Amino acid sequence: MSFIFITGVSTGIGYNALKSLVNKGYHVIGSVRKDSDVSRLKNEFGEQCTILRFDVTDVDSCKKEIYSITPLIEKEGLACLINNAGIAVPGPLQHLTDEEFTYQMEVNVNAVRRITNLLLPYLGTDKKYKPGKIINISSVSGLFNSPYNGAYCISKHAVESMTDVYRRELSMFGITVAAIEPGPIKTEIWSKSKGTLDRFKNTAYGEILSSADKMIESSEKSAFDVSVISNIILEIIAKPNSKTRYLVHRKPLLFRLLSHYLPDKMVDKMIAKTLTKKENYRPV
């Protein structure tokens, strides 16, 4: 039996990955925050999964729940850790409170490092275990900075850095680390963002952000099905020589041109023009 640990399996990418991996015969250890999600997932997947309940920002409960699975994984270790749980806290950087900005970093960055470190011995820093894999669910926002989505972009850029640093530090153990960098994917994260920008209507950004919900809806419509990400996860786990990065975008070459090669000032102008037309605003 191979064990895979995934954070945030209640909905979206995490839930679909859980389902796909269980179908392939893996035992998935997944985390959720609500009791109702624990019972729902246990009913659906039975013995093939172990569901832990903790908030990734709650250090004590995170440690307690992870220590509780020691008897399950101490013989074989973990084949893979998928750092998936994440949130988007949209809004102009000027107006996000310290608490909001810190919470974005706590969930998307600090918790990823903490959970990774707790599980590293089972992924192979303890040499009695076979080297495993780490997959970080990053974002195109880890490669490109969109206005009004700054905290999220900063957090995903940090995930990109963390992916490279861990990969270079862990290569001596044979542990591989990859980032999946999705553009829009059809998940609950979009509905969670809707309406959250209304509170900036009395700021200088109010006019630009007045159509944010419509723009979120249009991005959501063009989003990929979540199974695209599960297929990449299955590929990374199965392939001995998987890539370090997987960009998931409808126009990958155009995206790379924009994020890597065009001069900053040209991209700034393009973004300003797009925002005036109130098109293409994307919170994730």
Ligand X SMILES: NC(=O)c1ccc[n+]([C@@H]2O[C@H](COP(=O)([O-])OP(=O)(O)OC[C@H]3O[C@@H](n4cnc5c(N)ncnc54)[C@H](OP(=O)(O)O)[C@@H]3O)[C@@H](O)[C@H]2O)c1
- 238 token code pair: 């199965």
CB nearer to ligand X: pick between 54 and 129 = 54
Where along the sequence are the contacts to ligand X (CB under 6 A)? Answer: 8, 10-14, 32-34, 55-57, 84-87, 107, 137, 139, 182, 184-185, 187-189, 192, 223, 284
Report how far Cα 69 is from the mean position of its chain's Cα atoms: 23
Minimum distance of ligand X from residue 130's CB (angstroms) = 27
Minimum distance of ligand X from residue 23's CB (angstroms) = 18
Look at residue 103 and give its three-state secondary structure: helix
Minimum distance of ligand X from residue 223's CB (angstroms) = 6
Report how far Cα 36 is from the mean position of its chain's Cα atoms: 22
CA distance 86 to 82: 12
Specify which residues 53 forms β-bridges with: 32
- Decide: 129 and 122 in contact? Cβ < 8 Å: yes
Minimum distance of ligand X from residue 240's CB (angstroms) = 26
CB nearer to ligand X: pick between 127 and 243 = 243
CB nearer to ligand X: pick between 32 and 96 = 32
For residue 83, which of 159, 167, 169, 193 has the smallest C-alpha distance?
159
C-alpha torsion sign, points 162, 238, 189, 223? positive
**Which pairing describes strands 49-53 and 27-32: parallel, antiparallel, or unpaired?**
parallel
Single out the catalytic residue among 15, 129, 148, 152. Answer: 152
- 65 token code pair: 């729940």
CB nearer to ligand X: pick between 50 and 84 = 84
Minimum distance of ligand X from residue 54's CB (angstroms) = 7
CA distance 29 to 18: 9
166 is catalytic: no
Specify which residues 5 forms β-bridges with: 29, 81
CB nearer to ligand X: pick between 73 and 85 = 85
Catalytic positions, please? 152
